[in-house]
């Protein structure tokens, strides 16, 4: 193995010759052998974006220091970070310094060394040039916000929209199908299947709105606060210029956080946004459970839905098929709900001028977004699009439900209706037989007033 010697303020360090990183990255790589969780690719990409934007802002505000030549090669190297070409040059784990300093320096060193290679000379210094007008304390929270917003808008929201559209189609396809409702895991009054689906759709739409409501807070950036929020060694207007360039590079409107002291020490925006992700996870857990319970059987369960049969369900029971997509989505939901506890606790650890739990916040937040987006797409494409109503079973369950007796309340009263239901259940006879036997209605009058299909309120939501 060939090595080269890299130098930082603590002295010389040996680095593998084919690596672009420098001394500070190498020290972190050696000192934090903790777990297998490396810094998320979304954070690495966001660092490429913010370092390019910072170079462009410095070129505008202090061209004597950020020359045209330096800016050109620096931006070229950043482009390779952004497009993933240099992904293998970012080896650091999440479990490092809580400010993310070593990941900031990883970006600075890789970009400087790659830019120098492109220039064919030693043109850029990691700290003096790539990190110009910045501190790890304002770059990492900026990268975290940029990565979070991009992940949500580019991946999660489109995935939610796909599932919402599937629900809309299912509503249309099942218009007029009436089934038994259920509350407390017990039989309840009838509901249109399309109404039940509209509830699922509404849960997705509301969670989506909640997530979107959090984005303006994440679109405020800490860049320009430098070490403690004062903006030391940063030219006036840098934060605003850098945010404008980040907006151009991402196509998303970002702005400089007005109160940099808040931006550095508080991670409330991440906690708030992840709370909305948790709300989505809770809704997905409910929807997936509904689908798998309604599809349970095929003979000994509810059996009201047919769902796609994707894989054999047992290594010992031939012919068994399980609701695997539902199970995967519920596990994703549980993980996201657990992540929320970590994000919330970490967000509370802002001591004095800095929060030092940022890598774990970023890791959990981005994992949640990734899992939700992938899980929703998988559930939609491998399960939801293939959901079909078992109309025969729905009708059978509907007409066997004792809670249809509720339709008789206006004619025989609540207490007599209760007596009717209890007699029917105890003697295993129909509601009509029980009602007539008790002398509450004649057979003809019962048929006149008892119409389960009309008990859904006349509303078939679209």
Q: Which residues are catalytic?
A: 184, 314
Give dist(CA 340, CA 280) in Å, integer: 12
- Determine the longest span between alpha carbons in the chain, in angstroms: 102
Nearest to 29 by CA among 116, 72, 89: 89
Give dist(CA 393, CA 329) in Å, integer: 26
Contact yes or no for 355/314 (Cβ under 8 A): no
CA atoms within 13 A on the CB side of 440: 25
CA atoms within 13 A on the CB side of 39: 34
The per-residue DSSP string of 185-223 comes to TEEEEEEEHHHHHHHHHHHHHHHHHHHHHHHHHHTEE-T
Over the range 309-319, which residues count as b (16 or more CB within 10 Å of their CB) and which as e?
eeeeeeeeeee
Give dist(CA 101, CA 138) in Å, integer: 10
Strand partners, 220: 255
Over the range 172-187, which residues count as b (16 or more CB within 10 Å of their CB) and which as e?
eebeebbbbbbeeeeb
C-alpha distance across the termini of the chain, in Å: 66
Nearest to 405 by CA among 424, 388, 378: 424
Give dist(CA 253, CA 372) in Å, integer: 24
Give dist(CA 297, CA 303) in Å, integer: 5
CA 91 to the chain's CA centroid: 25
Please count the other Cβ atoms lying within 10 Å of the Cβ belonging to residue 148: 28
Nearest to 370 by CA among 346, 342, 343, 335: 335
Question: Which single residue is written with the structure tokens 């120098």?
Answer: 116
Contact yes or no for 164/283 (Cβ under 8 A): no
């Amino acid at each position: 193995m060939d090595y080269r010697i890299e130098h930082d303020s603590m002295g010389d360090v040996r680095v593998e010759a084919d690596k672009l990183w420098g001394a500070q990255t190498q020290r972190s790589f050696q000192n934090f052998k903790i777990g297998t969780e490396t810094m998320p690719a979304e954070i690495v990409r966001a660092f490429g974006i913010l370092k390019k934007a910072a170079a462009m802002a410095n070129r505008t505000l202090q061209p004597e220091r950020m020359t045209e030549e330096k800016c050109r090669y620096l931006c070229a190297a950043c482009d390779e970070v952004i497009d993933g070409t240099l992904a293998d040059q970012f080896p650091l784990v999440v479990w490092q310094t809580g400010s993310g300093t070593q990941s900031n320096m990883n970006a600075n060193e890789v970009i400087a060394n790659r830019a120098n290679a492109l220039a064919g000379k030693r043109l850029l210094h990691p700290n003096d040039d790539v990190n110009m007008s910045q501190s790890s304390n304002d770059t990492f929270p900026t990268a975290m916000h940029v990565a979070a917003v991009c992940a949500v808008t580019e991946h999660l929201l489109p995935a939610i929209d796909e599932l919402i559209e599937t629900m809309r189609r299912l509503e249309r396809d099942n218009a007029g199908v009436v089934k038994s409702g259920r509350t407390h895991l017990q039989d309840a009054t009838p509901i249109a299947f399309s109404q039940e689906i509209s509830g699922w759709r509404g849960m997705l739409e509301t969670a989506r709105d909640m997530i979107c409501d959090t984005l303006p807070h994440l679109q405020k950036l800490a860049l320009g606060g430098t070490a403690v929020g004062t903006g030391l060694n940063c030219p006036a207007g840098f934060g605003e210029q850098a945010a404008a360039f980040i907006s151009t590079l991402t196509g998303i409107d970002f702005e400089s956080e007005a109160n940099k002291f808040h931006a550095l020490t508080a991670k409330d925006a991440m906690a708030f946004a992840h709370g909305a992700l948790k709300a989505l996870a809770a809704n997905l857990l409910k929807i997936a459970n509904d689908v798998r319970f309604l599809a349970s059987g095929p003979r000994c369960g509810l059996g009201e839905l047919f769902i796609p049969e994707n894989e054999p369900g047992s290594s010992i029971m031939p012919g068994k098929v399980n609701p695997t997509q539902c199970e995967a989505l519920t596990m994703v939901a549980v993980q996201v709900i657990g992540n929320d506890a970590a994000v919330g606790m970490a967000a509370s650890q802002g001591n004095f001028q800095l929060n030092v739990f940022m890598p774990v916040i970023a890791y959990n937040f981005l994992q949640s977004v990734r899992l939700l987006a992938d899980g929703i797409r998988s559930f939609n494409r491998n399960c939801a699009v293939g959901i079909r109503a078992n109309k025969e079973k729905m009708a059978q369950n509907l007409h066997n439900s004792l809670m249809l007796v509720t339709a008789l309340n206006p004619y025989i009263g609540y207490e007599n209706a209760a007596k009717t239901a209890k007699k029917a259940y105890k003697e295993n006879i129909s509601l009509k037989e029980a009602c007539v036997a008790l002398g509450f209605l004649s057979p003809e009058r019962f048929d006149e007033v008892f119409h389960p299909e009309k008990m859904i309120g006349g509303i078939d939501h679209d």
